[in-house]
A and B are shown apart, each in its own frame.
Chain A
Amino acid sequence: MALNLLADISPWLPSHSSDVNIRRELFAALIGAILVIPQGITFAYLAGLPPEYGIYTAIFVTLFASLFGTSSMLGGPNTAVAILIGIAVAPFAGRGSPLYIEYVLLLSFMVGLIQLTIWLLRGGRFFMYLSPAAITGITTGVGFILILSSLDGIFGLSSSDTHFFYHKLYFLFDDAENLVNPFSFTVGATTVVAGMIARHYIARYAILIAITVGYLCGLLLMSYYSQVEMELELLGHLPINPLPFSHPPMGTDYLITGLAMLPDALIIALIGLAQSMVIVKQLRNDTDQPIQPDKEVFAQGIANFMAPFFSSFAGSGSFNRTQVNQSMRAETPLTGIVSAGIVLVFILLLGPVLTYLPMPAISGTLMLVGIGMIKSDEIKRLFNWRGELAVFATTLFCIVFLGLQTGLVVALILSVLLFVISASSLELIVEREAVSVKIRVEGHLFYASIDQLSQILKKHRQENVILDLSVVTYLDLSATEAITRELAKRDIESTFFAVKLSSERLQNQFETRMADQPVQFIQYNHTY
């Protein structure tokens, strides 16, 4: 155990991955860096922070998550986490104010601590229970939120009182000529259209192309109209410092706010880990990378724990960037480590040019990311499964109408419910044979599922019964008790009762508990 923990703490070294294809990894890192810059900026905006904090997050959280990770998963700023940070801290201080930033650092620190605790308790495996339907619901919901929040930037709305989405849509239709800024709209729409077209030809670079086109469109407008006339929102100067040391605020003063934010920290920690673990699970299925899920939990925890020391906010694994990374066939954490460095160099070089990047172009890329998160083929597949569809629909509904936080809690509860229901439901196949009835059981036999079996047995009390448990791998005390009870009521003289088990271990277990009972066994390796 202690050894395990120690092994998790060690950083990744090139020697851990045999035959790294350096060129491939470096190129993937370059693309990853280009993708993360606009996302960092917008997610900082969603979290209520100045843009440079998003860049720092793109650098340092990505760096630490990969340094201690085992896979090609790219961490860093994340949509859901950023939105949740914004919701959590907003009641305590004015957006973007120094106090607000301190609280965000405190929150990120707490998130890191909680995740490290989960790692110590080896809790990573529990995230594997999150149902894929709930995850599809979450990503779809987040995509929807992204699209809506991108409308602000694209139409040049002020974020004043358009909180609820149908408010926003209503305002837009009702008062378009007063609210919509035509210049913002031109830039934003150009960006989105360029991205949609590019997606058809070179999907990988779609975001890059979109934002470049948006930038050029902004320049074109700026050469005819001044920024003051257009009221076109620009990114502005990014005061980037290569080593932005900071620290989470400490002291009793912050205790009260810290405590008040604890439930939020918990939700953010769980959601961050859940997303990362889902990505890890996918990568483990699709590639042969030597992935250790527990180590990935540690990597996420330590990345968020370190974030507040480098002016960054909490993040998690990123679906869209990891996907691109995978399509470039990157296979090691090297990609993430290098891409962090490239982001830094890029920003230091390009900072002055980025100053004039129109915000509607960034909002446009946000909308593209949002559209990309709504995967219609995945949703279509869900339509074949009633339970999963219900989970998906409920999650989506809650996120859209009751907010992300509520939706996430509901998704977690529903996944657990779905799991419990599916684990406790038995498949019972009754086959009538020459002299007996064969009852084949599939599933786990335990207190929650035993009732179904008892009912069937009751029905066939007068007949010879062969109970086929050869695919049952789990049996608990209440199951054997129920069978004993049933046997007591049977007519032992004229009928027989036989049980077939899947393994010697289970049979031994069963025999000792069933001692003196009129029950026969069919050997587990017996074929008939």
Chain B
Amino acid sequence: MVDWLIRLFFNNCPDSLKKPFKRRFGLLLLLLPLFIAGPVQSEQLPIESLLQRSYLDDYYSNVVYGYRIVTETEKYGARYTGNNLRCSNCHLNAGRKENGLPLNVAGMYPKWRSKNGRRNGIGLRIRECFVYSLNGIMPPEDAPEVMAVAAYISYLSHGETIGKAPAGRGVPTLPDTGYDPNPASGKAIYDQTCAACHGSNGQGIAHMPPLWGMNAYNEGAGMASVHRAAGFIWANMPLGQERTLSHQQALDVSAYINMQIRPGDPREYKLLKLFETVSWFFDR
């Protein structure tokens, strides 16, 4: 009741007035259940125990939402997703694996948007992965999904130094092998070591993500760069036997994968998506 009255009268005051008030009373009331349940604020809780909770504050509920979007993109991020991938298919172990595109990178991005800063900040990277890696549509910068993943990323980044790259950021850069990537030998490697999981046509099988075809990442994605994909494959694939391929083998298979057919870059094929949709509409 008290909380409601406070909100009734202070919701509409300018933020400067509102903040101290909310902090003093509103938060106290909100945190009451947490105090009963045990201390939370000082230490970051592991995500697994956050998932069990039914009362979370604004920040932690966004963290949990962000975690769900990353691990079950097809369900929680469906609005902007256009293929069968999840964020965690590439950002391995829900963004917590070194050299597997970890997401503990909040400190590498400016914390505040500059005034017309649509073009920087962690939000933009998130939105870009929706457009390219998930071959979807670009969410607005203030979409709840983007805010939630940003909250999750800053949760993961707890303890990292601002401005310093966290250990194992991105994927390893493979040294120059002196040979050009060879897709023909890549095909042989693929059929032998990868097809069992990713399907003989790269279409993926149950619980395994596709590598090419219309349900994979598009040509604008980070993974579409042969060298970056090679680093990812070398450090993480075949799943469970990582780093068994040689650098050259990783480059070859990466070149083979990225030669295959996949959705175009949305910056070039502007209405392609729409035509796909419409043709799907008439095919039914």
Q: Which residue, B15, B65, B68, has most C-beta atoms of chain A within 10 A?
A: B65
Q: Establish whether residues B54 and A406, one from each chain, have CB atoms under 8 Å apart when the complex forms.
A: no
Q: Establish whether residues B142 and A228, one from each chain, have CB atoms under 8 Å apart when the complex forms.
A: no
Within 8 A of A (CB), among B249-279: 266-268, 270-271, 273-274, 277-278
What residue of chain B has the Cβ atom nearest to residue A401's Cβ? B12
Q: Establish whether residues A98 and B64, one from each chain, have CB atoms under 8 Å apart when the complex forms.
A: yes
Cβ of A380 < 8 Å from any Cβ of B?
no
Cα–Cα, bound, A87→B11 (Å): 9
Q: Establish whether residues B29 and A254, one from each chain, have CB atoms under 8 Å apart when the complex forms.
A: no
Cα–Cα, bound, A345→B118 (Å): 38
Cα–Cα, bound, A100→B55 (Å): 10
The B interface, classified by DSSP as helix, strand, loop or mixed, is: helix
What residue of chain B has the Cβ atom nearest to residue A253's Cβ? B54
Q: Establish whether residues A94 and B12, one from each chain, have CB atoms under 8 Å apart when the complex forms.
A: no
B62 contacts across to A, CB distance below 8 A: 94, 97
Cβ of B242 < 8 Å from any Cβ of A?
no
Q: Establish whether residues A94 and B151, one from each chain, have CB atoms under 8 Å apart when the complex forms.
A: yes
Stretch in B75-83, B101-109, B226-234 with 4+ CB within 8 Å of A: B75-83
**If the complex has contacts A97-B61, A239-B78, A403-B12, are A355 and B54 also in contact, measured as CB distance less than 8 A?**
no
Q: Establish whether residues B137 and A95, one from each chain, have CB atoms under 8 Å apart when the complex forms.
A: no
By the criterion of a CB under 8 Å from any partner CB, how many residues of chain A are at the interface?
A: 61
User: What is the minimal beta-carbon distance from B138 to any residue of chain A, in angstroms?
Assistant: 5
Q: Establish whether residues A226 and B266, one from each chain, have CB atoms under 8 Å apart when the complex forms.
A: yes
Q: Establish whether residues B270 and A96, one from each chain, have CB atoms under 8 Å apart when the complex forms.
A: no
Q: Establish whether residues B55 and A356, one from each chain, have CB atoms under 8 Å apart when the complex forms.
A: no
Given A97, A251, A409, which contacts B144 in the complex, CB threshold below 8 Å? Answer: A97
Q: Establish whether residues B58 and A93, one from each chain, have CB atoms under 8 Å apart when the complex forms.
A: yes
Stretch in A158-166, A433-441, A489-497, A513-521 with 4+ CB within 8 Å of B: A158-166
User: What is the minimal beta-carbon distance from B57 to any residue of chain A, in angstroms?
Assistant: 8
Cβ of B116 < 8 Å from any Cβ of A?
yes
Cα–Cα, bound, A161→B9 (Å): 19
Cβ of B32 < 8 Å from any Cβ of A?
yes
**If the complex has contacts A93-B58, A231-B118, A352-B277, are A98 and B30 also in contact, measured as CB distance less than 8 A?**
no
Cβ of A483 < 8 Å from any Cβ of B?
no
**If the complex has contacts A99-B54, A237-B81, are A228 and B274 also in contact, measured as CB distance less than 8 A?**
no
Number of A-B residue pairs at CB separation under 8 A: 153
Q: Establish whether residues B12 and A402, one from each chain, have CB atoms under 8 Å apart when the complex forms.
A: yes
Cα–Cα, bound, A385→B114 (Å): 52
Cβ of A451 < 8 Å from any Cβ of B?
no
Cβ of A219 < 8 Å from any Cβ of B?
yes
**If the complex has contacts A249-B54, A263-B4, A264-B4, are A237 and B274 also in contact, measured as CB distance less than 8 A?**
no
Cβ of A50 < 8 Å from any Cβ of B?
yes
Given A159, A164, A237, A253, which contacts B78 in the complex, CB threshold below 8 Å? Answer: A237
Which interface class (under 10, 10 to 19, 20 to 34, 35 or more) fits B?
Answer: 35 or more
Cα–Cα, bound, A236→B231 (Å): 33
Cα–Cα, bound, A145→B91 (Å): 41
Given B55, B75, B140, B268, which contacts A158 in the complex, CB threshold below 8 Å? Answer: B140
**If the complex has contacts A94-B65, A228-B266, A263-B4, are A158 and B280 also in contact, measured as CB distance less than 8 A?**
no
**If the complex has contacts A229-B267, A260-B3, are A236 and B115 also in contact, measured as CB distance less than 8 A?**
no
What residue of chain B has the Cβ atom nearest to residue A92's Cβ? B30
Cβ of A233 < 8 Å from any Cβ of B?
yes
Cβ of A17 < 8 Å from any Cβ of B?
no
Cβ of A448 < 8 Å from any Cβ of B?
no
Q: Establish whether residues B267 and A226, one from each chain, have CB atoms under 8 Å apart when the complex forms.
A: yes
User: What is the minimal beta-carbon distance from B105 to any residue of chain A, in angstroms?
Assistant: 21
**If the complex has contacts A254-B54, A405-B8, are A219 and B140 also in contact, measured as CB distance less than 8 A?**
no
A256 contacts across to B, CB distance below 8 A: 32-33, 55
Q: Establish whether residues B140 and A406, one from each chain, have CB atoms under 8 Å apart when the complex forms.
A: no
Cβ of A384 < 8 Å from any Cβ of B?
no
A409 contacts across to B, CB distance below 8 A: 8
Interface string of A22-56 (1 = CB under 8 A from B): 00000000000000000000000000101100000
Interface string of A219-237 (1 = CB under 8 A from B): 1001111111101011011
Interface string of A404-415 (1 = CB under 8 A from B): 011001000000
Q: Establish whether residues A96 and B144, one from each chain, have CB atoms under 8 Å apart when the complex forms.
A: yes
A98 contacts across to B, CB distance below 8 A: 64-65, 68, 76
Given B54, B144, B266, B273, which contacts A95 in the complex, CB threshold below 8 Å? Answer: B144
Cα–Cα, bound, A350→B68 (Å): 28
Given A223, A231, A403, which contacts B138 in the complex, CB threshold below 8 Å? Answer: A231
A231 contacts across to B, CB distance below 8 A: 118, 138, 140-141
B137 contacts across to A, CB distance below 8 A: 227, 234, 236, 355-356
Question: Which residues from chain B sit less than 8 Å from chain A, CB to CB?
Answer: 1, 3-4, 7-9, 11-12, 14-15, 26, 29-30, 32-33, 54-56, 58-59, 61-62, 64-65, 68, 75-76, 78-82, 115-116, 118, 131, 136-142, 144-145, 147-148, 151, 266-268, 270-271, 273-274, 277-278, 280-281
